[in-house]
């Protein structure tokens, strides 16, 4: 057959970016073994680029002539896509550049977007190489969907664009502390969760948000018959890993504060892009119609805009690629270790929001502000550590595009 794409709308020329350090360090071999032939059979041509260092991909897409490709595909974890999204938004022609269809192949240890897209397709859950094959098929089919982005503004007036999550407290600490377990693949979050549970602490700060809808009826009392909190019935990744808990608890003793954030002046963020019409400067009080959370003691605060937080953690089961909202989930201080563990076990099935846990709050928002009180700590955006301090964010519906099968 000819090498011309049968369907002119289907992206056929890919730039494929591979992070050789992601996951267990096998991204390139996984691509060769599982994806290469599939793309060839679908008449897709591609340029392969192995990244050489952090921010390489970001610089590359910032400078590249994008007209050479129909899509930019990332074979890595969520971190490399975060680089690409921000590289595109740092361009003078950001408005056009961010319309470049993106693609994701799970090659890292944190493959939340890939897992989310597989979940949206309605297929049975799969992990690891089967998830990779599923995402490979999506690329071959080439259906392009809209993807929401979130603009995240820091105290230094740095601005970043995010497609997945903003986290502080327990989840952010696990994100970063678990990077040293990257060699175990997706199980790193399970291990990180268990370690963090042992040194569970309270995070103090102020949280405010702009609700997406008029005040909603309480979420957690709708289905009170749920039995999902019964951890003994969960035959899960997390529960399978419980038997190494003692070991991990022991090892965690000297791991506090081991992490140094990796954001640097090389990551300038962007001052351009769409205006944040919902936000006022961080040194001014939030607008009067925002909701200010009365509690100031938290165990975790996270805003997620896709369903999955990791391959086997469904943080916001109701989320969709371009639903135009952030799903804000926070856990108030006072929750016991046991209840928090149950919460994460239930999250493997996305059942944590339909339990009656009085410490968990879930609300859909369009914008939020978080002001941590402690001078040191960790905030993550899409799983990557960013500048720590006051932060605010707003959704920009359908700003990007992604090949979603």
For residue 208, the surrounding DSSP H or E stretch is strand 203-211
By the rule CB under 6 A, 190 interacts with ligand ADP: no
By the rule CB under 6 A, 269 interacts with ligand ADP: no
By the rule CB under 5 A, 79 interacts with Mg ion: yes
The end-to-end CA distance of the chain, in Å, is 24
By the rule CB under 6 A, 352 interacts with ligand ADP: no
Nearest of 304, 307, 311, 305 to residue 125 by alpha carbon: 311
322 is catalytic: no
Spatial distance between the Cα atoms of 236 and 258, rounded to a whole number of angstroms: 29
Query: 7, 43, 70, 78: which is the annotated catalytic residue?
Result: 78
**Nearest CB to ligand ADP, comparing residues 53 and 250:** 53
Q: How many helices (H) and strands (E) does the chain have?
A: 12, 17
By the rule CB under 6 A, 267 interacts with ligand ADP: no
By the rule CB under 6 A, 51 interacts with ligand ADP: yes
How many residues are there in the chain? 405
By the rule CB under 6 A, 52 interacts with ligand ADP: yes
129 binds, among Mg ion, ligand ADP, none (CB under 5 to 8 A by kind): none
How far, rounded to the nearest angstrom, does the alpha carbon of residue 308 sit from its chain's CA centroid?
7
Counting Cβ atoms within 10 Å, is residue 16 exposed (0-12), middle (13-18) or buried (19+)?
A: buried
**Nearest CB to ligand ADP, comparing residues 83 and 90:** 83
By the rule CB under 5 A, 77 interacts with Mg ion: yes
With contact defined as beta carbons under 8 Å apart, do 265 and 273 qualify?
Answer: no
**Nearest CB to Mg ion, comparing residues 134 and 165:** 165
Q: Which of residues 186-205 bind Mg ion (CB under 5 A)?
A: none
Least distance in angstroms from the C-beta of 213 to ligand ADP: 33
| SS3 assignment, position 2 | coil
Counting Cβ atoms within 10 Å, is residue 226 exposed (0-12), middle (13-18) or buried (19+)?
A: middle
Residues 6+ apart with CB under 8 A from 73: 14, 15, 16, 17, 46, 102, 103, 104, 105, 139, 403
By the rule CB under 6 A, 53 interacts with ligand ADP: yes
For strands 13-18 and 45-50, give the pairing: parallel
The token pair at 310 is: 């990791």
Spatial distance between the Cα atoms of 132 and 29, rounded to a whole number of angstroms: 12
**Nearest CB to Mg ion, comparing residues 298 and 388:** 388
132 binds, among ligand ADP, Mg ion, none (CB under 5 to 8 A by kind): none
| SS3 assignment, position 311 | coil
**Per-residue string for binding with ligand ADP, 364-403, x by CB under 6 A?**
--------------------x-------------------
By the rule CB under 6 A, 21 interacts with ligand ADP: yes
By the rule CB under 6 A, 306 interacts with ligand ADP: no
Q: Which of residues 119-158 bind Mg ion (CB under 5 A)?
A: none
Least distance in angstroms from the C-beta of 256 to ligand ADP: 21
| SS3 assignment, position 40 | helix
By the rule CB under 5 A, 383 interacts with Mg ion: yes
**Nearest CB to ligand ADP, comparing residues 77 and 142:** 77
By the rule CB under 6 A, 19 interacts with ligand ADP: yes
**Per-residue string for binding with Mg ion, 93-122, x by CB under 5 A?**
-----------------x------------
With contact defined as beta carbons under 8 Å apart, do 368 and 228 qualify?
Answer: no
Spatial distance between the Cα atoms of 328 and 332, rounded to a whole number of angstroms: 13
* 8-state DSSP, 97: H
By the rule CB under 5 A, 350 interacts with Mg ion: no
Nearest of 333, 388, 395 to residue 172 by alpha carbon: 388
22 binds, among ligand ADP, Mg ion, none (CB under 5 to 8 A by kind): ligand ADP
**Nearest CB to ligand ADP, comparing residues 315 and 368:** 315
Among 108, 192, 211, 269, binds ligand ADP (CB under 6 A): 108
The token pair at 295 is: 């509690």
Active-site positions read: 78
Residues that bind ligand ADP (CB under 6 A): 19-23, 51-54, 56, 76-80, 83, 108-110, 182, 384
Residues that bind Mg ion (CB under 5 A): 77, 79, 110, 383
């Amino acid at each position: 057959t000819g090498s011309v794409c049968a369907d002119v709308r289907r992206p056929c020329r890919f730039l494929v970016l591979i992070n050789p350090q992601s996951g267990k360090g096998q991204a390139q071999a996984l691509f060769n073994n599982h994806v290469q032939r599939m793309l060839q059979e679908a008449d897709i041509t591609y340029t392969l680029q192995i990244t050489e260092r952090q921010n390489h991909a970001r610089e590359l897409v910032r400078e590249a002539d994008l007209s050479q490709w129909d899509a930019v595909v990332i074979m890595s974890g969520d971190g490399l896509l975060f680089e690409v999204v921000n590289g595109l938004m740092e361009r003078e022609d950001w408005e056009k550049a961010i319309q470049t269809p993106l693609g994701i192949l799970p090659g890292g240890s944190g493959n939340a977007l890939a897992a989310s897209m597989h979940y949206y397709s309605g297929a049975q859950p799969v992990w690891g190489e089967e998830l990779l094959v599923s995402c490979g098929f999506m690329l071959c089919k080439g259906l392009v969907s809209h993807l929401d982005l979130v603009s995240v503004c820091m105290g230094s007036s740095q601005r970043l664009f995010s497609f997945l999550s903003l986290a502080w407290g327990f989840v952010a600490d696990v994100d970063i502390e678990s990077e040293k377990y990257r060699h175990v693949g997706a199980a790193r979050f399970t291990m990180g969760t268990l370690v963090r549970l042992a040194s569970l602490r309270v995070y103090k700060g102020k949280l405010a948000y702009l609700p997406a809808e008029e005040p909603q009826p309480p979420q957690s009392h709708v289905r009170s018959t749920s039995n999902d909190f019964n951890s003994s019935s969960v035959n899960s990744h997390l529960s399978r890993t419980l038997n190494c808990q003692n070991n991990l608890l022991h090892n965690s003793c000297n791991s506090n504060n081991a992490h140094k954030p990796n954001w640097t002046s090389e990551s300038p963020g962007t001052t351009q892009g769409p205006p944040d019409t919902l936000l006022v400067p961080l040194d001014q009080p939030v607008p009067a119609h925002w909701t200010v959370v009365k509690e100031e003691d938290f165990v975790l605060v996270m805003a997620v805009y896709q369903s999955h937080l990791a391959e086997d953690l469904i943080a916001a089961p109701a989320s969709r690629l371009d639903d135009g909202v952030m799903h804000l989930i926070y856990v108030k201080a006072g929750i016991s270790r046991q209840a928090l563990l149950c919460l994460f076990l239930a999250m493997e099935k996305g059942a944590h929001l339909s339990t009656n846990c009085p410490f968990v709050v879930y609300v859909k928002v369009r914008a939020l502000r978080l002001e941590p009180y402690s001078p040191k700590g960790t905030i993550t955006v899409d799983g990557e550590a960013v500048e720590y301090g006051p932060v605010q964010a707003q959704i920009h519906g359908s700003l990007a595009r992604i090949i979603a099968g």
